[in-house]
């Protein structure tokens, strides 16, 4: 009986002690019974300019801040090739490198060790859910207001409770930071730095650099502010939640490992310089940029929302779900019509196109857009000299006075869609194809859809015109058979000129419901053979099979990249740079000859007064010394320029090697762009 009575008494005492301890904690530190916040998205003010959210962050890291996939990525050949490229170097210049990461890791270890393992940032701070949001303030990006909201454990609550007491604040002050309490806020002012504001509501902690922003977040959490929260906005519901829900239904993944995001580009652009006048419709150096400017107008982007979804361990796949809301008032006339193009079932137009993309193509793209207007935009992007040369040739035929008339003639034959196919440039074994200046430019085919049989005539007339007036355009012509047994004697019409970059030819075919123009007749032959099953198409690749579920049923545009084949293309560019480095560039030599002549003359021949005063024998010796000086200078300085170019190309080789496959699908309406993309990684 005594033992039982003693146990009973001891139990009562322990229970009372626990209750008293909890009451003491609740009175002086935090309330252990306060529960959890229902949704952290509801404590972010509606008018923020940017928002990023991630849940279950602890699962993404072996040891913070090193993500689980980092060891595989850092050990891959592709990443090693990218190490010295301009992209990674620019990140390092911004202060983000291995040394910075190691310093952050050391700081986190000190936090853990300094508290005897009581506090760990990932476990107790950001591991369950974290939100970063804020407002962009002119005139510089550094002025941005930021707010970090995170769910914390009881350890962090206890530490924040202790931080309100003078003895803790004194210890923190001794380490160079002033810590004080003001109402519901805890304010930390590091020596020489700006104050940081901290607040807590239940299991959520808010940290920010702007007092009002933190106070508004706290008021939303406590229910004393009735403003609409960001999580309830249509931007978030339609641009993030809806996209993720649709993706989950398609893939069967009920809890996607996603980084949610929202951005106001119109607020960001005034604070940065990289977007200034890009893409430039008048760029004299880049036709690609001039063409891109016809379609892309960054100043018209109002909201960017979506999610970046990782696979289970963040190692092999990356999916992008995004929506861009557009300001229609900033569209050009062409862009206004372009974004009104109706999406169409992919079975009706996209899959027939993909079936004619050879399996060894490095990339392919297709877009529903008015073909005639697209051709006119391409023509406008040509340089003045190219336009005049083209118009002059057309005038000599007596059929047209300028290229726009030719486009007007054929545009009614074409459906509102166009496609591109890219493949590694393999030199033609046929000796009649001569290239004056070999280059690694890939084989490219431009594909148009023909309305019907009757619409083919203007297109075949164009081929006949080129054949008839080939001497005017300084072309040689020949035909390459399609080799389709049982389907007639159709042949690709090819025109040769050694000055055509890369391939020395352009080719032409009107066949079935397609009109194809290319810089390679063999590419067109491969495309048609793929179309009729004589050889496999890109649809047979593992990557395209994996992408099928991502492509919307109705789609405006699609792009695909085969990483292994693209790597071969960039390897060709790398080899071409090596070839250029081996032999001094004539243009570089001409630009630097006067400099070397002056150096040699001052060093050994100044006694002649001038170069014109040399006799023929001396002049010959002088020229030989100049030639040798130029070669030495090339090895010292000319190669440096080429080495930088080579590092940039190697970066693209490495990036291609890291990618097994990549695709993007787009759906347009007049007010938005809906984008779906997916990358399959290959850590070789």
Of the listed ranges 34-38, 164-168, 235-239, 465-469, the one predicted with least confidence? 164-168
Phi, psi of 642 (to 5 degrees): -65, -35
- Percent of the chain as helix, strand, coil, to the nearest 5: 50, 25, 30
pLDDT at 407 over 80: yes
What whole-number distance in Å separates Cα of residue 137 and Cα of residue 144? 5
Q: What is the pLDDT of residue 34?
A: 77
The pair of structure tokens assigned to 114 is 């300094």
Average pLDDT over residues 533-551: 91
User: Rounded to whole angstroms, how far apart are CA atoms 229 and 219?
Assistant: 11
Give CA–CA dist 609/612, Å, rounded. Answer: 8
Mean pLDDT in residue range 210-221: 93
The one-character DSSP state at 603 is: I
What average pLDDT does the segment 372-395 reach?
Answer: 83
Least confident of 101-115, 123-137, 141-155, 571-585: 101-115
DSSP string of 15-46?
HHHHHHHHHHHHHHT--TT----S-GGGGSBT
The pLDDT, as a whole number, for residue 13 is 39
Statement: residue 148 has pLDDT above 70: yes
Residue 58 belongs to some domain of the structure: no
Tell me the β-bridge partners of 511.
514
476-481 and 443-450 beta bridge pairing? unpaired
| pLDDT at residue 124 greater than cutoff 90 | no
User: Angle formed by the axes of helices 2-28 and 154-162, to 10°?
Assistant: 60
Q: How confident is the model at residue 665 (pLDDT cuts 50, 70, 90)?
A: very high
Q: Which residue has the higher pLDDT, 307 or 227?
A: 307
What 8-state DSSP symbol labels residue 418?
E
In a domain, residue 509? The reply is yes
Most confident segment among 24-28, 109-113, 646-650, 653-657: 653-657
What is the mean pLDDT of the segment spanning 165-186?
A: 82
Identify the pLDDT of residue 111.
65
Between CA 301 and CA 265 the distance in angstroms is 6
Residues 308/312/315/318 CA torsion (nearest 10 deg): -20
CA-CA-CA-CA torsion sign (568, 574, 576, 582): negative
Q: Is residue 452 part of a domain?
A: yes
Q: How confident is the model at residue 308 (pLDDT cuts 50, 70, 90)?
A: very high
pLDDT-above-70 percentage for the chain: 89
- Cβ proximity of 605 and 618 under 8 Å: yes
DSSP track, 489-505 = --EEEEEE-TTSTTTSE
Name the more confident of 367 and 428: 367
Query: Bridge partners of 178?
Result: 189
* Mean predicted confidence (pLDDT) in 556-565: 95
Q: Angle formed by the axes of helices 384-397 and 403-411, to 10°?
A: 70
Between residues 94 and 647, the one the model is more confident about: 647
- What pLDDT sits at residue 11? 46
Q: Which helix (H) or strand (E) holds 5?
A: helix 2-28
Q: Output the pLDDT for position 536.
A: 96
What is the mean pLDDT of the segment spanning 588-593? 85
User: In the predicted model, is pLDDT for residue 85 greater than 80?
Assistant: no
Compute CA distances 653 → 566, 572, 575, 684, whole Å: 8, 10, 11, 13
Q: For residues 262, 264, 265 and 267, what is the CA-based torsion angle, rounded to 10 degrees?
A: -150
> Could you tell me if residue 374 is inside a domain?
yes
pLDDT confidence bin for 282, thresholds 50/70/90: confident
The mean pLDDT value of the chain amounts to 84
* pLDDT greater than 90 at residue 664: yes
What pLDDT does 317 receive? 87
Q: What is the pTM of this model?
A: 0.82
Residue 311 lies in a domain: no
pLDDT reading at 510 higher than 60? yes
Read off the pLDDT band of 220 (50, 70, 90).
very high
Q: Which of the pair, 122 or 306, is modelled with greater confidence?
A: 306
The more confident residue out of 371 and 586 is: 371
Would you call 581 helix, strand, or coil by DSSP? helix
Q: Are 296 and 326 spatial neighbours (Cβ–Cβ below 8 Å)?
A: no
**Three-state secondary structure of 523-559:** HHHHHHHHHCCCCCEHHHCHHHHHHHHHCCCEECEEE
In-domain check, residue 289: no
Q: What is the DSSP letter of 610?
A: S
pLDDT (tens digit, 9 = 90+) per residue, 607-642? Answer: 888 888 888 888 899 999 998 888 888 877 766 666
Mean pLDDT to the nearest integer, 331-354: 87
* Residue 640 confidence (pLDDT): 62
pLDDT at 92: 66
pLDDT at position 130, please?
94
Look up residue 181 and give its two tokens: 């309490």
Q: Do 631 and 529 touch, CB atoms closer than 8 A?
A: no
The Cα 294–Cα 290 span in angstroms is 7
Q: In the predicted model, is pLDDT for residue 533 greater than 80? A: yes
Q: Which residue has the higher pLDDT, 297 or 306?
A: 306
Q: Residue 313: pLDDT above 90? A: no
User: Closest Cα to residue 441, out of 641, 559, 576?
Assistant: 576
pLDDT band at 19 (very low <50, low <70, confident <90, very high): very low
Q: How far is CA 185 from CA 36, 151, 174, 195, 434, in A?
A: 19, 17, 21, 12, 76
What confidence score (pLDDT) does residue 30 get?
Answer: 47
In a domain, 461, yes or no: yes
**CA proximity to 310, closest of 262, 260, 263:** 260
Residue-range definition of the domain harbouring residue 525: 341-540
How would residue 17 be classed by pLDDT, with cut points 50, 70 and 90? very low
- CA 159 to CA 170: how far, in whole Å? 15
The answer to whether residue 575 scores a pLDDT higher than 70 is yes
pLDDT for 382 beyond 90: no
- Across 43-57, 90-104, 564-578, which has the greatest mean pLDDT? 43-57
Q: What is the pLDDT of residues 456-496, one digit of tens each?
A: 999 988 888 888 888 887 888 888 888 776 555 578 888 88
Mean pLDDT to the nearest integer, 508-527: 91
Please give the pLDDT value at position 670: 79
Q: Evaluate whether 471 touches 455 at the Cβ level (below 8 Å).
A: no
Percentage of the chain surpassing pLDDT 90? Answer: 34
* Average pLDDT value for residue range 164-178: 80
Residue 91 lies in a domain: no
Number of domains in the chain: 1
Query: What's the pLDDT at 21?
Result: 38
Rounded distance between C-alpha atoms, residue 573 and residue 367, angstroms = 27
Quote the tokens at residue 120. 């760990």
Q: Beta-strand (E) ranges in 583-670?
A: 659-669
The total of other beta-carbon atoms located within 10 Å of residue 134's CB is: 21
94: confidence class by pLDDT, cuts 50, 70, 90: low
In sequence order, the 6+-apart residues with CB closer than 8 A to the CB of 612 are: none
Instruction: Tell me: pLDDT of 63 over 80.
Output: no
pLDDT of residue 24: 39
User: Rounded to an integer, what distance in angstroms lies between the CA atom of residue 448 and that of residue 513?
Assistant: 9
Span of 458-462, 504-508, 645-649, 678-682 with lowest mean pLDDT: 645-649
Q: At what angle do helices 287-295 and 371-380 cross, to 10 degrees?
A: 140
């Amino acid at each position: 009986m005594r033992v039982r009575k003693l146990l009973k008494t001891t139990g009562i005492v322990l229970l009372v002690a626990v209750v008293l301890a909890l009451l003491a904690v609740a009175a002086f530190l935090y309330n252990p019974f306060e529960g959890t916040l229902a949704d952290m998205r509801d404590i972010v003010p509606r008018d923020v300019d940017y928002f990023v959210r991630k849940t279950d962050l602890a699962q993404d890291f072996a040891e913070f801040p090193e993500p689980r996939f980092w060891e595989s990525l850092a050990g891959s050949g592709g990443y090693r090739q990218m190490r010295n490229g301009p992209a990674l170097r620019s990140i390092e210049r911004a202060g983000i490198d291995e040394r910075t990461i190691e310093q952050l890791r050391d700081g986190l270890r000190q936090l853990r060790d300094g508290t005897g393992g009581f506090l760990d940032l990932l476990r107790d701070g950001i591991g369950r859910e974290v939100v970063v949001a804020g407002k962009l303030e002119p005139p510089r990006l550094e002025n941005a207001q930021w707010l970090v909201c995170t769910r914390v454990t009881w350890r962090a609550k206890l530490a924040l409770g202790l931080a309100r007491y003078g003895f803790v604040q004194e210890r923190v002050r001794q380490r160079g930071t002033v810590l004080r309490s003001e109402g519901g806020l805890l304010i930390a002012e590091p020596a020489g730095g700006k104050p940081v504001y901290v607040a807590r509501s239940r299991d959520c902690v808010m940290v920010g650099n702007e007092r009002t922003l933190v106070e508004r977040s706290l008021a939303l959490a406590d229910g004393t502010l009735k403003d609409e929260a960001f999580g309830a906005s249509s931007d978030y519901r339609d641009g993030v939640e809806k996209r993720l829900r649709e993706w989950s239904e398609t893939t069967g993944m009920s809890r996607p490992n996603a980084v949610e995001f929202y951005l106001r580009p119109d607020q960001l652009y005034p604070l940065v310089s990289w977007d200034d006048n890009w893409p430039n419709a008048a760029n004299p150096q880049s036709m690609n940029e001039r063409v891109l400017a016809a379609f892309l107008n960054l100043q018209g982007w109002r909201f960017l929302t979506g999610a970046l979804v990782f696979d289970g361990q963040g190692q092999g796949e990356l999916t992008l779900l995004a929506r861009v809301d557009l300001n229609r008032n900033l569209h050009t006339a062409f862009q206004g019509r372009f974004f009104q193009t109706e999406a169409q079932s992919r079975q009706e137009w996209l899959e027939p196109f993909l079936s004619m993309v050879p399996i060894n193509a490095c990339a392919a793209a297709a877009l529903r857009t008015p073909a005639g207007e697209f051709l006119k935009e391409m023509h406008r992007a040509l340089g003045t000299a190219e336009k005049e040369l083209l118009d002059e040739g057309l005038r000599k035929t007596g059929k047209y006075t300028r290229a726009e008339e030719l486009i007007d003639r054929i545009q009614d034959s074409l459906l509102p869609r166009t496609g591109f196919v890219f493949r590694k440039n393999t030199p033609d074994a046929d000796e009649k194809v001569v290239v004056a200046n070999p280059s690694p430019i890939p084989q490219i085919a431009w594909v148009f859809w023909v309305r019907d049989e009757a619409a083919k005539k203007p297109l075949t007339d164009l081929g006949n015109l080129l054949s008839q007036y080939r001497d005017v355009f300084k072309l040689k012509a020949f035909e390459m058979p399609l080799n389709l047994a049982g389907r007639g004697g159709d042949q690709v019409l090819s025109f040769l000129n050694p000055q055509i970059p890369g391939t020395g030819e352009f080719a032409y075919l009107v066949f079935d419901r397609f009109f194809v123009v290319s810089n390679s007749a063999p590419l067109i032959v491969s495309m048609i053979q793929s179309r009729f099953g004589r050889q496999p198409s890109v649809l047979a690749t593992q990557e395209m099979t994996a992408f099928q579920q991502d492509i919307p049923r109705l789609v405006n545009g699609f792009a695909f990249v085969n990483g292994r084949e693209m790597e071969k293309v960039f390897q060709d560019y790398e080899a071409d740079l090596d070839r250029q480095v081996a032999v001094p560039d004539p243009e570089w030599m001409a630009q630097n000859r006067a400099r070397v002549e002056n150096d040699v003359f001052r060093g050994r021949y100044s006694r002649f007064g001038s170069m014109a005063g040399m006799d023929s024998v001396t002049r010959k010796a002088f020229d030989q010394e100049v030639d040798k000086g130029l070669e030495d200078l090339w090895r010292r300085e000319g190669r440096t320029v080429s080495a930088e170019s080579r590092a940039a190309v190697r970066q693209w080789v490495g990036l291609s090697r890291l990618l097994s496959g990549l695709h993007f699908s787009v759906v347009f309406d007049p007010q938005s762009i809906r984008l779906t993309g997916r990358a399959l990684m290959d850590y070789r």
